[in-house]
Amino acid sequence: MKIALAQLNYHIGNFESNTAKIINHIQKAKQNGADLVVFAELCVSGYPSRDFLEFDEFIDLCEDSARKIAAVCTDIACIIGLPTYNHKDEGKDLNNSAYFIENGQVKAVVNKALLPNYDVFDEYRYFEPSTEFNCIEFKGKKIALTICEDLWNTIENPLYITRPMDSLIHQQPDVMINIAASPFSYNHDEERIAILSDNASRYRLPLLYVNQIGAQTELIFDGGSLIFDNTGKLIDEMPYFEENLAYYTLNNDGSLSFDHPSTLKAERPADIDQIHQAIILGIRDYFHKSGFKQAILGLSGGIDSAVVCALAAEALGAENVMAVLLPSRFSTDHSLKDAEDLVNNLGCKSELVPIKNITEAIETALHPQFNNLPFNIAEENIQSRSRAILLMAMCNKFGYILLNTSNKSEAAVGYGTLYGDMCGGISVIGDVYKTQVFELARYINRNQEIIPINSIIKPPSAELRPDQKDTDSLPEYDILDKILAEYIENRRSSSDIIKMGYDEATVRRVIRLTNLAEHKRYQTPPILRVSPKAFGMGRRMPIVGKYLS
């Protein structure tokens, strides 16, 4: 049996595009002699569709698409993922389903059993878990078809009380196929390989796993579809962050073979390499799927805006990036020079709009209210908000989307101005700690200097008051980021972190700042997720909670 795996980029609710793409790849697979072509979880609707799933018309359109796909499935079979109605009176109204289509007909329906409801996942909000498990017979073989999380319960301290494969294995399947929509984080590829390998070795069956690629707002899907033999050995791995159609033959002895060169690498890509690829894809898809082409950002000469500008230029083309230099009376000449050098290196568009007169006009207007009180954070934030007004005005006038340039360290402790530098349409590096931003800058410069070296080596500063440095307000970033990672990603308490050897006062202050900044994060743009625990939909904290504050 020749099986094609279609690793594709889908668009939520774009039924015309998704359906055409699926049909096109069915026809390609058929021309190449495939018996079966397999697509990703919820490929028809796009994933995650969220509350679109509450509209009956949305589900009906999925079914219409499935009928169009079935009509071209002659002399080839396919597996597609889509939401379907649960026709039982009990339980949720929908199932997360896979259709097995052969000779123009839906020959089998498999419903997902293990519905993730943690971190960024919210599937139990919509879907009813399956309790019935049956193999699919095709071409003299039995296929154990599962959907994403259904194979994720072999881990230590499992999240669920059942394993679909424990039921399916009694029907003596010949092969496992798993269709998935598994989001990217920089450590997830190793975890994914380990869990799927464990399934293949546990059940002594070859396993073909297909994942989608593409970004859906903040969630990024990296592909990396995987193929294992019946010992759990990884024998092939499809490319990451790009569409691909690959072919595998299930032989009569149960082995898998393929005629293309294996893409397996001796070493996993470095985290920073993966983060770079993910962010490029995240920016590109956010713009293309939203119907926008041009980005704008404030370029300060600092490392954060420099990295965001370079990433945007790579994702969208330098001609589609507008960098606006907005110097204040505290901006240094070298910062302006660093920003200009970056613009020249990238070839992006730029404008210079000084804000000195604007901020002075606001301060003059507020002079009676401020009543000669000393300069403080109020005047600092006027500068940041003045920049936001100008950038948003240019967005409205010319149709740009504003890129937010705040990093994760700043977002964590609230080191940013609400309605100022924290505004934007998408947060590009909001899930990248400051120490990782430096790594990204060096990675971007791996072949030639793009980001001026001075932007990388100079002490970080918001330049909102004379001689300001980030370290005036925060611990050194190499300490801050380690404490934040223990608290955010590893969910360790302040007492646990202190026991690890960190200064008690610093730990308590950092965690308190993080909790107090929750109200700011509720009002910031969606953040491209690259870590195991990003701010946003995957980290749900109360604003007014006292614990650890």
Euclidean distance between CA atoms 23 and 20, whole angstroms:
5
Which CATH number applies to 2-253: 3.30.1330.30, 3.60.110.10, 1.10.357.10, 1.10.1380.10? Answer: 3.60.110.10
Average pLDDT over residues 266-278: 93
For CA atoms 63, 64, 65, 68, the dihedral sign is positive
Q: Is the predicted pLDDT of residue 284 greater than 70, yes or no?
A: yes
pLDDT in tens, 238-248: 999 999 999 99
SS3 290: helix
What would the pLDDT profile of 381-410 be if each residue is shown by its tens digit? 999 999 999 999 999 999 999 999 999 999
Spatial separation of the C-alpha atoms in residues 183 and 189, rounded to whole Å? 10
Q: Which residues contact 104 (CB under 8 A, 6 or more apart)?
A: 70, 71, 73, 74
Q: Express each pLDDT in 194-206 by its tens digit.
A: 999 999 999 999 9
Which residues are known catalytic residues?
41, 112, 148
Separation CA 92–CA 109 (nearest Å)? 17
Q: What does pLDDT average to over the chain?
A: 94
- The stretches of 291-322 forming alpha helices (DSSP H) are 303-316
Q: What is the per-residue DSSP string for 367-385?
A: HHHHTTPPP-HHHHHHHHH
Upstream peptide bond of 48 is cis (omega within 30 degrees of 0):
yes
pLDDT digits (tens, 9 = 90+) for 459-496: 877 666 677 777 777 899 999 999 999 999 999 999 99
What pLDDT score does 335 carry? 81
Three-state DSSP string of 400-439 = CEEEECCCHHHHHHCCCCCCCCCCCCEECCCCCCHHHHHH
Query: How many other CB atoms are found less than 10 A from the CB of residue 443?
Result: 16
Task: Indicate the Cα dihedral angle 476, 477, 480, 486, nearest 10°.
Answer: -150
**Judging by DSSP bridges, how do beta strands 321-325 and 295-298 pair with one another?**
parallel
- Rounded percentage of the chain residues whose pLDDT exceeds 70: 98
Q: How far is Cα 37 from Cα 96, in angstroms, rounded to an integer? A: 19
pLDDT band at 30 (very low <50, low <70, confident <90, very high): very high
Q: Are 213 and 176 in contact (CB under 8 A)?
A: no
List residues bridging with 236 in a β-sheet: 227
What is residue 82's three-state secondary structure?
A: strand
Distance CA 202, CA 163 (A): 12
Residues of the chain with CATH 3.60.110.10: 2-253
Q: What is the mean pLDDT of residues 430-450?
A: 97
User: Is the distance from CB of 244 to CB of 237 less than 8 angstroms?
Assistant: no
Contact (Cβ atoms closer than 8 angstroms) between residue 234 and residue 192:
no
Using DSSP bridges, classify how beta strands 136-138 and 141-147 pair: parallel, antiparallel or unpaired.
Answer: antiparallel
Query: How do residues 87-127 score in pLDDT, each as one tens digit?
Result: 998 999 999 999 999 999 999 999 999 999 999 999 999 99
CA distance 87 to 81: 18
Residues 178-183, mean pLDDT to the nearest whole number: 98
Q: Which CATH code fits 273-470?
A: 3.40.50.620
Three-state SS string over 12-33 comes to: CCCHHHHHHHHHHHHHHHHHCC
Treating both helix axes as pointing N-terminal to C-terminal, what angle do 303-316 and 333-346 enclose, rounded to 10 degrees?
Answer: 10
**181 backbone dihedrals φ, ψ, rounded to 5°:** -130, 85
**Reported confidence tier of residue 549, pLDDT bands at 50, 70, 90:** low
Digit-coded pLDDT (tens) for 51-78: 999 999 999 999 999 999 999 999 999 9
Q: Side chain identity at 188, as an amino acid letter?
A: H
pLDDT of residue 328: 85
Residue 368 vs residues 365, 376, 465: alpha-carbon distances, Å: 7, 16, 22
Q: Looking at the chain, which residues constitute the CATH 3.40.50.620 domain(s)?
A: 273-470
Report the pLDDT value the prediction gives residue 464, as an integer from 0 to 100.
65
Of the listed ranges 154-158, 279-283, 351-355, 531-535, the one predicted with least confidence = 154-158
120 vs 157, residue with greater confidence: 120
